[in-house]
Structure 1
Amino acid sequence: MGCRGQLEKYCSRVEDAVSRLPEQFDHIERAIHMVSDCFQEAGKILLIGNGGSAADAQHLAAELVGRFMAERKALPAIALTTDTSILTAVANDYSFDRVFARQIEALGRAGDVLIAISTSGNSRNIIEGVLAAKNVGLKVIGMTGSAGGRLAEVADLCISAPTDETSHIQELHIMIGHMICAQVEELSQ
C-alpha cells in the first residue's frame, strides 16, 4: 500500500472514532458545566497528563488563560506538567508517581477542578494525582481511551474517547478539550 493508501486508512480510522464521539456528549456537557461552575465560584482548573497528554494539558490551559475563540477575561487554569524543577525534585525525593499529587496538595483548593488526561487511564502518577485531588476536595474530570482504566473508576466524571488507538485517543482528547473551551468561553461572557 502506497503513502496515499496509508493516509486514507488512517483518516478512515479517525472518522470512525469521531463518528462515535456523540456517545460521550452527555459526559462532555457535564464537564462543561463543572468547569463553568468552578470559574463562577472563583475556582481554578488544574490539568495533568504524561507525554502527549501533558502537551494537551498545556494546550488546554493556554486556551483558558489566553482565549479560545472570543475576547473575554482570562480564566484561571494551570498545567502541572510544566515546572521541571518541581517535577524533577518530587520524582527524585519521592517518586515519579507523586509528581502531580504533591503539586495538587500545594495548589489545589476545595471547589477547584482537576482535568486528568491519560490515554490508558492507568498511569500511576495520574491516579495518585486524582486521589490527592479528591482528598483536597477537588472535582475530577478524567479523559481516557475507550477502556477507561482505573481513571474511569476514581474520577467524578470520565470522558472516554471511543477508540483504543493512542494517536486517535489523543486527537479526540484535544477535540473534546476544544469543545469544552468553546462552551465555557461562551458561558463566561
Structure 2
Amino acid sequence: MSLQDRIQMHIGQSVETKMHTAELLTDDICLVSQWLIGCLVSDNKIITCGNGASLAVAQLLSTSLLNKFDQDRPGLPSLTIGTDSCATNGISNSFSFAEVYARQIKALGQPGDILVIISTGGNSPNIIQAIQAAHDREIAVIALTGGDGGGVASLLTEHDIELRVPSDIKPIIHEAHMSIIHCLCDLIDHQLFEESQ
C-alpha cells in the first residue's frame, strides 16, 4: 500500500466512523447537551477525565467550556482532573494510580455535578473507580467510549449515559470523540446563549 493510499484509508475510516456515529448517537448527543446545560444552570460543574490521548480530549471539553468554543461568551464551570502532575503523582505514590481520579472526585465533586469520562476501551481501573466514586457522590456519569464499552458499560446506571463510538480502532475513536465534544460545545453555546438573544 502506498503512502497516499494509507492517507486515503485513514481519512476514509475516520469519515465513515463519524457518519455512523452521527446516525447512531444524534439523539443521545442532544440529550447529553441538555444534561450538561441543566448541570450548568443549577450552578454545578462538569468534571472530565481520561487517560493518555483521552485525557487530551477531556481537556478539550473543559477548556472549551471554561474559556470559549467558537464565540465569546461567559466561561462555564468545568475542570479536568488528572492534569495536575503533583496531585497525580502524590495519589499514585501514596495509594495507587487506580485511585488517582476517585480521590479527586471524592474531594472536589458535589451532588448535581456531572462527570464526563473519555475512554476508548472502557477498562482502565482508574476510570472504573472514578465512576464508582461519582456514584457515591450522587454525580451522574457521561461516558464516551468505543468498542464494546468495556467495564464502563456495565457500571452505568439509569442516571448515566454512554456515547459509544462504533469502532475498535483507537485513533479513529479519539477522532470521533473530538467530534462529539465539538457537537456538545456547539449545542451548549446555541441553547444557552444564542436562543436567549
TM-score bracket, normalised by the shorter chain, equals over 0.9
Unaligned runs of 5+ in 2: none
| Matched-pair contact (CA < 8 Å) for 1:101–1:129 | yes
Q: C-alpha displacement at 1:153, in angstroms?
A: 2.1
Amino acid in structure 2 at the alignment position of 1:132: A
Moved more, 134-143 or 7-16: 7-16
Moved more, 145-154 or 76-85: 145-154
| CA distance in structure 2 between the aligned counterparts of 1:71 and 1:11, rounded to whole angstroms | 31
Asked if 1:164 corresponds to 2:168, the answer is yes
**Partner SS state of residue 68, structure 2:** coil
Asked if 1:19 corresponds to 2:23, the answer is no
Listed as ranges, the matches of 1:1-189 within 5 Å are 1-21=1-21, 22-155=23-156, 156-189=160-193
Unaligned runs of 5+ in 1: none
Question: Which segments of structure 1 move beyond 6 Å, counting only runs of 4 or more?
Answer: none
| Matched-pair contact (CA < 8 Å) for 1:121–1:145 | yes
| CA distance in structure 2 between the aligned counterparts of 1:148 and 1:27, rounded to whole angstroms | 16
- Note the alpha carbon deviations across 1:129-181, whole angstroms, 9 max, x for none: 01101100111000000311111222310000111100000000011011001
| Matched-pair contact (CA < 8 Å) for 1:58–1:81 | no
| CA distance in structure 2 between the aligned counterparts of 1:84 and 1:26, rounded to whole angstroms | 37
- Note the alpha carbon deviations across 1:82-105, whole angstroms, 9 max, x for none: 111110111111100000000000
**Partner SS state of residue 100, structure 2:** helix
- Structure 1 vs Structure 2 CA RMSD: 0.9
**Partner SS state of residue 159, structure 1:** strand
- Note the alpha carbon deviations across 1:58-96, whole angstroms, 9 max, x for none: 111100001001221110000002111110111111100
**Partner SS state of residue 101, structure 2:** helix
